[in-house]
Amino acid sequence: MIEIGAQVDLSHPPDRVWLALTDRELLGRWFAEAETVAGVPDRLVLHTAGLPGFDANIEVEVTERQVPELLALRCDEAGRLTEVTCAVTATKQGCRLAVREVTTHGTWSAEQHDPREQQLRQALTVRLPAILDWLAFQQVDLRRGEAGMTTELPTIGARPARARRRRRTVVAVLAGAVLVAGLAAWVTLPDEPDSAAAPPPAAPSPSSSSPSSSSVAAVAPTGTPRATPSARPSRTTASPTARPSRTPTAKPSPTVASAPAAPPPVTATYRTDSSRLFGYTGEVVIDNPGGAAADWVVVVTLAEGSSVDDVDGADVRQDGRTLTFTGPAVPAGGSQTIRFDVRDSRPKAREPEGCTVGGNACAGV
């Protein structure tokens, strides 16, 4: 007996997930096109021929149905018989879907097992959430009263008023800034010279009386260049301290020049592998151009309202919108790929706001 399994946590109620599992048109959108068998209830033909890990189309028969918790199927793929179980368990955030396929007659080859499991996992973690998001969006009622979808939506009518208030606020702030700057300039302007104070410089003359001569003598000491002697010792004291400084600074330079060059740091490149409604799949590729194995830490900052669902290729620690990825050292000249599925609260998903490896920015962000 060989088993293939995968599970995913979904932010949708069980009844919506059940609809995606049992509705023929929806099933064709996220897994494979389905065709009913005329005259035979609970029988379908899944057009899986050509998908990775599948050799032919699959004839499916429903053997057990417990809405919306359990769906059991008996499958026949060109003589290979399997049993598939789809279990839906309610959670606080929505529900958890676990899919398990077990062979009862015949086996898969080594070349089929891994691609088949990867195909199932990608369908559950990427395409199924996109269909569920689409279903949820169809059920949103955007009407306001009986007027229907008009400009009564609050996000449309409120923007001009906020814009006018912002413009008024900016004008008021600018006017206040100009007024304050003018007052500051007026306060700091030097006082105009008093016309009554002008005569003292012109007062000395040959016919001056003795009191005026004494006042000039009293002012004369302040105007004599007595500051010159104080400048001479400063040059004398500065010259001894400057001479020893040249000798020690020249000696360490040979030691610094002989230090070995640091190995190049690891680099990382981010890209959005696939986008969908209300989410996307991100990918970070870490490269080590150095000559020895190197440790790494990748930090990704998600946009507001985003959260991570599934991570492949690394261990992750989440703190709010910050995701910290760690893993084994990357060998010299090697690379490591991290893939993570992101859920977004808006129909048009927003890519991460930042990505770093070892504190350096990732390319592509």
Residue 258, domain member (yes or no): no
CATH number of the domain within which 339 lies: 2.60.40.290
CA-CA distance, 308 to 293, in Å (whole number)?
29
Residue 33, domain member (yes or no): yes
Task: List pLDDT tens digits, range 267-306.
Answer: 999 998 765 667 788 899 999 998 899 999 999 999 888 8
- Phi then psi for residue 62, to 5 deg, are -80, 120
**241 alpha carbon, distance to own chain's centre:** 54
Beta bridge partners of 71: 65, 86
Q: Which of these three, 107, 138, 169, is where a domain ends?
A: 138
Read off the DSSP letter of residue 197.
G
Residue 273, domain member (yes or no): yes
The pLDDT score that the predictor gives to residue 161 is 44
Residue 308, domain member (yes or no): yes
Residue 298, domain member (yes or no): yes
Residues near 127 by beta carbon (within 8 Å), at least 6 away in sequence:
29, 30, 31, 276
To which residue do tokens 């998903």 refer? 349
**Inter-residue contact 4 to 116 (CB < 8 Å):** yes
Q: Which of these three, 113, 138, 163, is where a domain ends?
A: 138
Residue 320, domain member (yes or no): yes
**Inter-residue contact 258 to 322 (CB < 8 Å):** no
Residue 303, domain member (yes or no): yes
Q: Which of these three, 106, 138, 170, is where a domain ends?
A: 138
CATH number of the domain within which 65 lies: 3.30.530.20
**105 alpha carbon, distance to own chain's centre:** 47
**Model-wide pTM > 0.75:** no
The DSSP annotation for 284-336 comes to EEEE--SSS-B--EEEEEPPTTEEEEEEESSEEEEETTEEEEE-SPBPTT-EE
Range name among 33-37, 306-310, 323-327 with the lowest pLDDT average = 306-310
Residue 292, domain member (yes or no): yes
**357 alpha carbon, distance to own chain's centre:** 13
Beta bridge partners of 260: none
In single-letter form, the type of residue at position 327 comes to G
Q: For the chain, what is the domain count?
A: 2
The pLDDT score that the predictor gives to residue 141 is 58
To which residue do tokens 């609809």 refer? 19
CA-CA distance, 82 to 53, in Å (whole number)?
14
Continuous segment of H or E residues that includes residue 168: helix 154-188
- The whole domain housing 339 covers 267-361
Read off the DSSP letter of residue 146.
T
The pLDDT score that the predictor gives to residue 307 is 85
Task: List pLDDT tens digits, range 104-128.
Answer: 998 888 788 888 988 899 899 999 9
